[in-house]
Amino acid sequence: MTSDVGYSRFEALGAYLPPAIQSTPDLVASVAQVPDVPLERITGVRERRVYDPRPEAGEDSYGLALKAAEDALAHSRYQGAELDVVISTSITRFKDGDDFYFEPSFAALLAKELGAHRAIHFDLSNACAGMLSGVYLLDRMIRAGIVRNGLVVSGEQCTRVAQTAARELVDSYDPQFASLSVGDSAVAVVLDRSVDEADRIHYVDLMTSSEFSHLCLGMPSDQSEGIALYTDNKKMHNKDRLRLWPAFHGGQLAKQGSTFADEAFDYVIQHQVGTRFVDFVNQTGASEFDSEMPESLTGVEVFGNTATTSHFLVLHQHLTEGTARQGAKYLMVPAASGIVTGALSATITNLGV
């Protein structure tokens, strides 16, 4: 949906998951005021990865992002010194324990650590659409010929909001309920110029509906120390809100003389809020597009909602486990507070993972 000359592609993908696993029953047991909350039945999340708080473990937001970036470069043909851009998109920005960093930017720190000394670097914050927003910008920079390649990275210590919710939750309608579905992780993706339709980002387009910006807010807790996430699940998940994606995506395709069915996607990756949410979004898409949906790839059952990293963590999981085939056409759909929605279409054949 751009007339710019040239395309970008996904060249390498890296990920890092803390080895510690917390089951949903174990998390529910820590919820002080609602001991029998039916969390797994409502969200479909069986377990999630949880960061190690010891400084030597290097699993704060920055440390997680660095491990994912190093993994991506290990599968890339580029060295850190060859990167033209480093974009960090973490929502949580913890480093050195409980310190929350705004300056210096994570991107500057990561570029220095990776040896990307000549790279343009900047942080980008766009809620759970952060990674897709970073890819959007880097894709445009490559298409315009401003840069040759770049790295988009995010590390998320999401379970800090789950710890706050466990202390403060009063019932299953509490605005902190969604915080119990999150998990910790990091991903990083290298993009460069596409010279083959078999490896190409066909388009990435995003839309923000700011009238919904109050429905999901991360901030210091209003009851105790720590950060909290307040979400109006009922309004976030209502049908009119979910129709924003197919309405926007269908409209963009119509401008190009195409339809959802014409796109012939092999897989769709929705934002990983919960199994019911993923099913509901796919059902809404099928109804609004009047078309069958492609196979839906998920990882929320074992990773939880990992915020910015969710789409690429699912892609990494299915490519490394062989449950998604190379050479397929993928659709990624963000659903971030804001509301941010949109579509990323890519054919992936030789992605290093």
At 297-330, the pLDDT tens digits run 999 999 999 999 999 999 999 999 999 998 999 9
pLDDT higher than 80, residue 273:
yes
If you average pLDDT over residues 20-35, what whole number do you get? Answer: 92
Distance (Å, whole) CA 206 – CA 65: 24
If you average pLDDT over residues 185-214, what whole number do you get? Answer: 95
Residue 69: name the closest of 28, 125, 30, 121 by CA: 121
pLDDT higher than 80, residue 296:
yes
Ordered domains of the chain (ranges, CATH): 8-193 (3.40.47.10), 200-348 (3.40.47.10)
Query: pLDDT tens for residues 228-243?
Result: 999 998 888 888 889 9
Distance (Å, whole) CA 105 – CA 192: 23
- pLDDT at residue 1, as a whole number: 47
- pLDDT at residue 233, as a whole number: 84
Q: Confidence class of residue 171 from pLDDT cuts 50, 70 and 90?
A: confident
Antiparallel, parallel or unpaired: β 216-220 and 227-231: antiparallel
Is residue 346 a contact partner of residue 196, using CB atoms and an 8 Å limit? no
- pLDDT at residue 5, as a whole number: 57
- pLDDT at residue 33, as a whole number: 86
Query: pLDDT tens for residues 65-116?
Result: 999 999 999 999 999 999 999 999 999 999 998 889 989 999 999 999 999 9
